[in-house]
A and B are shown apart, each in its own frame.
Chain A
């Protein structure tokens, strides 16, 4: 079965700095990959997804992610972080022909003024 690892439990960046959140997946075939964001007390909101095609995916709120098959990674990036980006970020994977979405443990982002 597919699985996801988010190596960083907590990351702190300064406002205006660049951000990269790591995500590694395990799956035997081409996975379907997602990044979700969860603000405190809220549900999850989809930032972006990768199904096929261009390996650099653009999402909402200025986020992008790059699928690298050779590294089994799908890292999330943002060139300049805003204080409102402070939240928890989840990477998720779904395998082909199944709908068992597996989430990583999440990375909590703190933004310093």
Chain B
């Protein structure tokens, strides 16, 4: 299996621009998670889906952030408008189910907002 695929791997954009991060989970996995990693705050869970339905988005920092999962093999995390403080590494992870299942992480997208 190819593992969790994320694109782009690196993104540099200017403040105010829209940013879209993409994730393809492992085939057959029912749950998908978006995390953000920064030096200051470490790894934070932003949102997770089960069977394409958002279950918990309490970690989404503000309304500028939105996530969708239109089908079992694709998810997006969008930031509009982006701000310099959004600069971070964003990870997508997938698992067979929720509740204590092992999560498999993608390589991450390193985002820099100037």
Binding site for B on A (CB under 8 A): 32, 34, 36, 41-46, 49, 51, 90, 94, 96-106
Contact = CB atoms under 8 A, between A and B. Distances in A.
B48 to A, nearest CB: 6
Given A104-B42, A105-B42, 11 more contacts: A43-B105, A44-B93, A44-B105, A45-B105, A46-B104, A90-B43, A94-B99, A96-B100, A97-B99, A99-B55, A99-B99
Contacts of A98: 99
A49 B103 CA distance: 11
A99 B42 contact: no
A45 B105 CA distance: 7
Contacts, number: 47
B14 interface: no
B25 interface: no
14 contacts: A42-B108, A43-B107, A44-B105, A45-B105, A46-B103, A96-B100, A99-B55, A100-B45, A101-B45, A101-B103, A102-B45, A104-B42, A106-B42, A106-B43
A49 B42 CA distance: 20
Given A100-B45, A103-B42, A106-B42, A43 B100 contact: no
A101 B101 CA distance: 10
Nearest to B100: A32
Given A98-B99, A99-B100, A43 B91 contact: yes
Contact of A43 (B4, B45, B56, B98): B4
Contacts of A100: 45, 56
Interface in B93-114: 93, 98-100, 102-108
Contact of A51 (B31, B100, B107): B100
